[in-house]
A and B are shown apart, each in its own frame.
Chain A
């Protein structure tokens, strides 16, 4: 098992290296921070701009390859991901923002998975009944709404609730109120900030899991091994939960690997709309500010998240599927 994980890990590290390098070349050849610098007032001379860029390790006169080598050496030798055109250090800013993003998505991802799979099982056990129809049609509805628009609608709804009550219950943007005293008040304030984004992401996210889990479970409910289990004297629910559920969870576990990066991508939208200064909104800003190093760092982060998701999916598959043996 460990050897298998190590082997997969090495493959993914190589893959991350390739995608990040490709991303760096794409960014370095299309993003020109020097152009933005020239819009400052008072307008700096081209020499001044080039000089200040050179000091930050963003020399525009070097060829993309030279800059790539320089950038890569800094990472490999000092774990230094470079600097932004405004002088900020990528490492420090990244550390701050990754924590914000993780806090925003962790609760939402767990809720999405648990609710989606649970509702999938519930609706599969009651196929074509009223509950099943309501739950499944909701999932299809969530499927045809683009994520940012759904977030926006939830935000509008929260604003409406605030207006009808006449008091600010939910905060629709930001992470916390500045200057709040520690203790109970701060905790309530945190909940008020977390509630809307978490609810929004969860509401949009669980649909695809529900549909997948329902479909796979229905495929298995009438399988021979479930009938055998019933014949042995298990009740229908026992047979489903002990035998059918395990098998039907395998493809769902596989799909988690692909949805974790998707949630990360959805995170761009959530962070933009709810104004959380996380990694996602940083990457968009980095591109509009022509920030090569920040854009590449966020891309590398995305690849790492994907690799973690893929390895977790393998792990989950071996955990639930007795037939899979990894070498």
Chain B
């Protein structure tokens, strides 16, 4: 596994070109091919990218924005003027959906990526040092798991007279709180995985060579649990999007005038009968978003799983078994 990473690019290219029986294919190529073979996962990726694109350029296709009130079209169903209809206050739903999708994706990506990063560093540090450090850090971790995140979100986003609240938009505040409470489960998992890695020879060798701990964690532990981390990123993104929707749905979390999918869905629940489009449009977008991530998740797991049964041609070609 480690040999493969050190094979220089030219040799890999040459080997792949030769397509001989024992050709070595770079691990990233295999992962990429496996991922591309999974049609569901590719479709998921396409939907996700399309939604992201939509959230950034979608605003240019409509003359309305989320602040303009159209007094002639209040609470109108979808029509030529307003693609997706207007809200009770006469605001174009399409413009709000574009804005809400962007905020939701932003929250998901930031929380998903950063929380996995925190979890990786924290978990590896615990496993590397062990002993007292491990005990203390585990204690902190469990204490954080114990705190009901929802209460803290509610206090942080609605507490009166908070100076923090005035300086930050509510979505940024939500990101911070979600970050603080989202990394513990992954960190625990990473800790147990790294603990078994610590027994491996290459870590011991590095220790005897006098490589500083920080570099061992970063260079030897983190890359070896990489596949798990990639999976946890997509799962974390889904989790953060769902958490945002859930919190905003019951009226804590993101506050108007900031718009997110959760705010749109939550605001429309009381009027499902009268303004059904206000409820179903953001809900569909949310399903597309979380659904596309779930579809990718499955393909990613197959692609990164060393014992995957969906090996196809890539495995046959590489005589040497890649991956562990």
Q: Which residues of A contact B (CB under 8 A)?
A: 15-16, 18-19, 22-23, 26-27, 30-32, 35, 140, 143-149, 152, 156, 258, 261, 264-265, 268-269, 272-273, 283-284, 287-288, 290, 295, 298-299, 302-303, 306-307, 310
Candidates A23, A27, A273, A295; contact of B147 at CB < 8 Å: A23
| B250 engages A272 (CB within 8 Å) | yes
Report A299 CB to chain B, min CB distance, Å: 5
Q: CB of B242 within 8 A of chain A? A: yes
* Alpha-carbon gap, A239 to B154, bound state (A): 49
Please name all residues of chain A whose beta carbon is closer than 8 Å to the beta carbon of B57 when the two chains form the complex: none
User: For residue A306, which residues in chain B have a CB less than 8 angstroms away from its CB?
Assistant: 145-146
Q: Check A303/B151 contact, CB under 8 A, given A30-B159, A30-B162.
A: no
Total interface residues in chain B, CB < 8 Å: 39
Tell me whether A30 and B155 are in contact in the complex, defined as CB-CB below 8 angstroms, given that A149-B283, A303-B147 are known contacts.
yes
**Given A16-B146, A298-B148, A302-B148, 6 further pairs, Cβ under 8 A:** A145-B287, A265-B150, A272-B250, A283-B154, A288-B158, A310-B142
Question: Measuring CB to CB, which residues of chain B are less than 8 angstroms from any residue of chain A?
Answer: 139, 142-143, 145-152, 154-156, 158-162, 185, 238, 242-243, 245-246, 249-250, 252, 262, 265, 269, 272, 283, 286-287, 290-291, 293-294
Q: List 8 A-B contacts (CB under 8 A).
A: A15-B139, A16-B146, A26-B152, A149-B265, A149-B286, A156-B272, A258-B185, A268-B250
- Contact (Cβ within 8 A) B250 A32: no
Q: Chain A contacts of B250 at CB under 8 A?
A: 148, 268-269, 272-273, 284
Q: Name, among A140, A144, A147, A156, the residue most crowded by chain B CB atoms within 10 Å (CB to CB).
A: A144
* Closest B residue to A280 using CB positions: B150
Contact B246 A27 (CB under 8 A): no
Residues of A within 8 A of B272 (CB): 156
The reply to whether B245 and A265 form a contact with Cβ atoms under 8 Å apart is: no
Please give me the 7 A-B residue pairs with the lowest Cβ-Cβ distance, nearest first: A30-B159, A144-B290, A302-B148, A146-B246, A148-B249, A146-B245, A287-B154
Query: Which residues on the B side are within 8 Å of A261 (C-beta)?
Result: 145-146, 148
Contact (Cβ within 8 A) A27 B265: no
Inter-chain contact B161/A265, CB cutoff 8 Å: no
| Docked-complex contact A287 and B148, CB < 8 angstroms | no
Residue from B154, B243, B294 in contact with A140 in the complex, judged by beta carbons closer than 8 Å:
B294
Query: A119 to B186, alpha carbons, bound, how many Å?
Result: 26
Q: How far is the CA of A307 from the CA of B291 in the complex (A)?
A: 33
Determine the distance from Cα of A295 to Cα of B245 in the docked complex, in whole angstroms. 23
Separation in Å of the B143 CB from the closest CB of chain A? 5
| A148-B250, A295-B151 known; A303-B161 Cβ under 8 A | no
Take A258-B145, A302-B151 as given contacts and tell me if A35 and B160 are in contact as well, using a CB distance cutoff of 8 Å. Answer: yes
Cβ–Cβ contact B148 & A264, under 8 A: yes
Q: Which residues from B are CB-within-8-Å of A152?
A: 249, 269
B249 touches A146 (CB 8 A): yes
Q: Tell me, in angstroms, the Cα distance from A288 to B249 when the chains sit together.
A: 16
Contact of B246 among A16, A143, A147, A287 (CB under 8 A): A147
> How many Å lie between the Cα of A176 and that of B302 in the bound state?
49
Task: Name the prevailing secondary structure of the A interface residues.
Answer: helix
Shortest Cβ gap from A277 to chain B (Å): 15
Asked whether A284 lies within 8 Å of B252 as measured between CB atoms, the reply is yes
Cβ-closest chain A residue relative to B154:
A287
The distance from the CB of A139 to the nearest CB of chain B, in whole angstroms, is 11
CA distance A149 to B162 in the complex (A): 30
Provide the bound-state CA to CA distance between A15 and B136, in Å: 12
Complex Cα distance, B146 from A152, in Å, reads: 27
Given known A31-B159, A35-B161, A287-B151, contact A269–B139 (CB-CB < 8 A): no
Compute how far the CA of A106 lies from the CA of B78 in the bound complex, rounded to whole angstroms: 44
Minimal Cβ-Cβ distance residue in A for B158: A287
Nearest opposing residue in chain A for B261, CB measure: A146
Given known A30-B155, A140-B294, contact A22–B246 (CB-CB < 8 A): no
Query: What CA separation (Å) do A164 and B146 show in the bound complex?
Result: 44
A302-B146 CB under 8 A given contacts A144-B238, A284-B252, A287-B155: yes
CA of A310 to CA of B138, assembled, Å: 14
Instruction: Say how far A285's CB is from chain B's closest CB, in angstroms.
Output: 10
Select from chain A the residue with minimum beta-carbon distance to B250.
A272
Question: Which of A152, A283, A295 is the most central at the interface, judged by chain B CB atoms within 10 Å of its CB?
Answer: A152
- For A146, list chain B residues within 8 Å (CB): 242-243, 245-246, 249, 262, 286
Taking a contact as CB atoms under 8 Å apart, the answer to whether B294 and A143 are in contact is: yes
Interface centre among A23, A295, A310 (most CB of B within 10 A): A23
Minimum distance in angstroms from A222 CB to a CB of chain B: 12
Given contacts A26-B155, A298-B151, contact A269 B160 (CB under 8 A): no
* Min C-beta distance of B96 to chain A, whole Å: 18
CB of A14 to closest CB in B, whole Å: 9
Closest Cβ of chain B to A80, distance in Å, is 21
